[in-house]
Each structure stands twice: as C-alpha cells, then as structure tokens.
Structure 1
Amino acid sequence: MPQIKVGLVGGGGIAAAHIRGYREHADRIGITAVADAVQQTAVDRGGELGATPYTDYHRMLEAEDLDAVDICLPHHLHRDAIVAAAQAGKHILCEKPLCLTADEAADVRAAVRTNDVTLMCAHNQLFLPAVAKAKELLDAGTIGDVYEVRTTDSFYNDFDPATMGWRASSKTSGGGELIDTGYHPTYLMLHLAGGSPVEATAMLSTHRLKFMEGEDSAQVLIRFDNGVVGQLVTSWAYQPAPVTERFSIVGELGSLHSNGNSLTYQLRSGETDTFHWEPVDTFVAEVGHFADSLLNKTRPLHTDEEGIAVLGILLAAYEGARTKTIAPVLQT
C-alpha cells in the first residue's frame, strides 16, 4: 500500500492526467478507491488502478480508509465534494476552479479551516521550471520593483455541441472560457504579481464557438495592492501569434519573458541571460508536490487561500464586463 491512500472523485476527463502523477509517485501516494456517478467509469477506473469502485463519493468516504481525496469533477460540483471531504477529515487536491461563487468560497474556507485539513489547488502550470525560475528571479529582486505582468493561454479548441458537454452551460461551468482555461493564466498572474488583487475588469467575446452560453475569449486587466498591473489574454477561438509570450514581467531594472520552455531576462544595465528546459509533465510534478506536502506537513504552493483569490479576480472580471466598470475583488 502507498504511504498516502487517495480516493479519486471523478474518473473521467482530467483524471487521466492526475493518474500519470500517481503512477510516477507510487512509492509515496496512490489511488485506492475511485468514485464516479457513471458506474461503468467507476468500474473501468477501478480495474485500471486496482482500486475499489463506487458510484457515490459519500459512500466511499464512509467505507474506505483514506488519507486524501483528489477531486476531478465538473466545476459546479467542486464545493460540495470539498466540504464533504473536509468534514470526513481527508486532505484534498482539487482541480480548478476551486469553486464558482463567493458564497461557495466561504463554505470551502470554513470547511477546510474548521476540520484542519490541507487543501491544495491543482494549479499545474506553476510547476513549469520557467515559472519557478521566474519566481526565483523576482524574489531575488533581479528586475527590481515589478510594474506589469502579462500572461497568455490561448489555443484553437475544436469543441462542438456534441462534445462540449457541461462546459457549454454557464450554470455548470461558472461562465465560459475565462473561468476554465482562463483560470490558468489567472493563477499564474497571481503567483508572479506578488500582491493581493484589488480590482479587475474584462472584455469578453464569442468569436467562434457560438453555441456556448459563455464567452470563448477574454482580455482581463487586474490591479494588485502592491501597484502591479496585470494583463491577461485567453481564448478557445484562436491560436495566438507565434511571438506571443506565455508570460512576461516588466520591472524598474529590466524585464523577463518566457514561452513556457525557456526564460530570458534582460536588464537596462545590459546584463542578460537565457535558460532552457526540456518539457515536463506538470501533472506529475503536481501530484509529487501534494505528496511531499502531506508527508512533510508543509504548506502546498497554492491552498484554498490562493484558490479563492483567483476566483475573486475572475468574479470581478466578469462583473466588470457585465457593468462596463472596474469592479472590486471581493475578499472572502
């Protein structure tokens, strides 16, 4: 048996990426039970993993000797699963977005804090080596005080009405592309900006996926309490131009930029350097970090605190787009 026994909640979609992580770290952490509302999915995943299948995660929480759960459900089901797991005393790895509303965020925070469990947000792109290096350079003051952060996550998505499923509905997705793929450049923005978000606004568009209830593209502006201004672009409608960076940061002494696999900084003094990395499986790194956090009793890179802050940015951006104003980021 692994040192940390995990119950997988939701066996479809993104669960496959998480499973790669458990296989790589099988000496420390592993899935011993799986729950999915679709019985065949539960049975198939259970057979694949050598795990006990359930169609109700509440039953799994009652019957299994688990240390943690990994929540890979559709967005609108996250809050209830987090609260149930916390009340059962289980640590939690939860896919993004953490939840969908300020009220849900308050419920999550209360459940996690009251029951003294660790919650880690599955913000996998933070485990890119380029992101870690950028954070190291920023913390060392290499480019001085930060003025501007830009993040991008766009791609040509071939969703159609037959394959999009629950993501086509704003009620179950929480909005549109911005709260889905757009969640990635938002938590990356938060991580690199080094402050707390205070206000945001957005322009939302539906360029191509007209059958969606929500937007397929968004441009967002965010101000942080340390003076940093963030600009974010995200889309399912189009592939960005080849020169588009994954992220860039401008400060008083210079700037840095990255395409995800390399990072370059250039100072006004003329000093410059470039770093390169082979592609990494960020989901494998994410699961390993979750295991380390539980075994060493250390704080994960992003907890419910950051997950709620990211949600606050998105909710303010949606409100700004709705009212054509700059909306405050509500503190939960």
Structure 2
Amino acid sequence: MTSTPIKVGLIGGGGIASAHIKGYQAYADKIGVTAVADADAETAKRRAEELGATAYTDFNELIADADIDAVDICLPHHLHKDAIVAAAKAGKHILCEKPLCLSPDEAREVQAAVTENGVTLMSAHNQLFMPAVAKAKELLEAGTIGTVYEVRTTDSFFNNFDPANMGWRASAKTSGGGELIDTGYHPSYLMLHLAGGSPVEATALLSTHRLRFMEGEDSAQVLIRFDNGVVGHLVTSWAYTPATVTERFSAVGELGSLHSDGTSLTYNLRSGESETFDFEPVDTIPAEIGHFADCLINNTRPLHTEKEGIEVLGMILAAYEGAKNKSIAPVLQV
C-alpha cells in the first residue's frame, strides 16, 4: 500500500478510542478514520461527528460496506477475535488493542485468518514506543551488558475501579481473567521485547488485595522462562502504587545491568563504565498510530504482529495455569 491517507474504520468508540483518535489527528497526512462502529448508537454518532466519519452500530457492516483500508479494534477483550477474523477475511489491515484474543483456539483462528488473507496485523503494544524502551532494546542487541540473564518489568498503580464503573472488566468471561490480562499485558509484552527470545514456561502467584468485587485477581507476580535462557519476573497490580525505588524495567547480564523508571535509562557495567540517558516524554499511543501508518505505507513489519500478540497471550495463559495448578506450565505454541 502506498496511497495516503490510509482510510481506517474505528471499531469501538469507548474510552481507549480517545487516545487512538489523538494519533489520527497527529498523523492526519498519513492516516485517518473514515468510519466508526459502536454497538451504542449514540456513541457511534458522537464519534462519527467528531471525526467527520460514517457511523455504524455493527462492525461487520462497517467492514463489509465502508470504503476503508484498515481497522482499529478498540473493543472489550472478548470481542477482539471476531473483529480480527472478519477484517482479515475482508482483506483489511488490522491494529488491535491488547489482548490480541483470549484462548488458544482463538489464537489459532486469528493466526490462520491473518496468514491466509495476507493482511498486516499490528498488536497495539504502545509502551514499546517509550524512548527508554527503544534505547534499552538498542543496548541489549548491541551486547552492552553481555548475555542477558534476567529481565524484570513492573506496571502497578492504585486503581479506583468500583462495582459502578468497572463494567465488563469485572467479569472474567468478558475480560479473560483479571488484572494480569489487562494492565498486566503491558509488562508482559515489554518483557518479551527485552528478553529477545520466545517464552517457553511460566507460573504465577495471583492475589486480590483490594478490589474484591472482581471475579479475577487485582494483582499478579509472574515468572517466565525464555528459550534463550532469560528468566523474567513481572509484577503488576491495580491494588497499590509500588515503592518509589521500584524500576519500570531492568535487565541483568554477564557484563552488568540496566534499569529505567520509564523516563530515564541507566546502565552500569562491572568494568566501572556507566551512562544515564534522559528522554523527553512521548505520547505513546499516537506514536503507535504513526508506526502503523508507516508500516502500511512502506510495507514493513510492525514492531509486534500477531506473532508477538500470541506469544504474550501464551505467557499470560501459562501464568494463569501455573497459578491454578501450583505448577510451572508450558507456554502456548501455535
């Protein structure tokens, strides 16, 4: 695809769609929303008016009828698979919010639909667009800290959810679990990105410290082993803000270590060499939209496709299985 601007159908007009819309506004010369679907007619109408787009209440009708090149899926978790498969079968490229889908069977169906129809799918893993993450990946691939032994990631905050405002996230059937498959998806894909291998086994301790009206956990600690020998430790929670000394991510290797609070990055080597990098903040979801546009225009691979989306899902499902059975569980292989 070389023509611009790319025409997108926005599927789901709820909360996260607002952040995506900022991205389309920032990169209007490359990509824009021309159709919007939401099951709530008022939401669809409001978003369509906001964007100068056509409103639909059924995403299948949008995919079939709208003049679009791609879709941006911002639906509740349990609806992702159906929208991905419908879009892929219609030859539309796909940007999909996390999680990619919810089960091994859904993952296989997604992979088959994308592969058989030759479309590009980008997993909307926005934290990969943090400058500190990009620099860390560069240093790790350059061998700055040598062979990597351990990666740690953290994404925790005090969440003010209550039974009146949590909506579909309170139900394991529609969310896919609890906090781990929601906010916990972020430190999972970040760990995958930094570890540089494929996940092979995982286990977890799940807790419900505070949000007891949820069906799923509000906190999780996860251990993951990768095929290159890296071991990952992930902490994530809606129950609490972590201690101020807690890193956003870190890696330890044979020559030293690196760590980041998300805005700066420092590496320290056993040789005594050390360097700190400070970064200007980046609005990561608009950056993600710009990357999606560039990938479609230039026919290049997104940072994370359905491959990585399925690997992250596999990490989380194995963690859930390990927690349930008090075991170390194998990661889904599709």
CA distance in 1, matches of 2:231, 2:148: 9
Q: Deviations over 1:217-263 (max 9, x none)?
A: 00000000111000000000000000100000000000000000000
Q: How does 1:1-332 map to 2 (within 5 A)?
A: 3-332=5-334
Q: Deviations over 1:51-80 (max 9, x none)?
A: 000001111112111100000000000000
CA distance in 2, matches of 1:163, 1:61: 30
CA contact (8 A) 2:4 2:297 kept: no
Q: Deviations over 1:82-115 (max 9, x none)?
A: 0000001000000000000000000000000000
Q: Cα distance, 1:271 vs. partner? A: 0.4
Q: Which amino acid aligns with 2:54?
A: T
What is the DSSP-based 3-state SS (H/G/I as helix, E as strand, rest coil) of the residue aligned with 2:177? coil
What is the DSSP-based 3-state SS (H/G/I as helix, E as strand, rest coil) of the residue aligned with 1:294? helix
Q: Cα distance, 1:122 vs. partner? A: 0.2
Q: Deviations over 1:266-306 (max 9, x none)?
A: 00000000000111100011000000000000000000000
CA contact (8 A) 1:199 1:316 kept: yes
Q: TM-score, normalised by structure 2?
A: 0.99
What is the DSSP-based 3-state SS (H/G/I as helix, E as strand, rest coil) of the residue aligned with 1:14? helix
Q: Deviations over 1:127-168 (max 9, x none)?
A: 000000000000000000000000000000000000000000
CA contact (8 A) 1:206 1:215 kept: yes
- Runs of 4+ aligned structure 1 residues displaced above 3 Å come to none
CA contact (8 A) 1:92 1:118 kept: yes
CA distance in 2, matches of 1:264, 1:64: 48
Q: TM-score, normalised by structure 1?
A: 0.99
User: What is the number of residues matched between the two proteins?
Assistant: 332
Q: Deviations over 1:304-330 (max 9, x none)?
A: 000000000000000000000000112
Q: Which amino acid aligns with 1:277?
A: F
Q: Which runs of 5+ in 1 are unaligned?
A: none
CA distance in 1, matches of 2:83, 2:68: 15
CA contact (8 A) 1:2 1:30 kept: no
Q: Cα distance, 1:2 vs. partner? A: 5.0
Q: CA RMSD in A?
A: 0.7
Q: Which runs of 5+ in 2 are unaligned?
A: none
CA distance in 2, matches of 1:171, 1:192: 31
What is the DSSP-based 3-state SS (H/G/I as helix, E as strand, rest coil) of the residue aligned with 1:237? coil
Q: Cα distance, 1:3 vs. partner? A: 1.7
What is the DSSP-based 3-state SS (H/G/I as helix, E as strand, rest coil) of the residue aligned with 2:15? coil
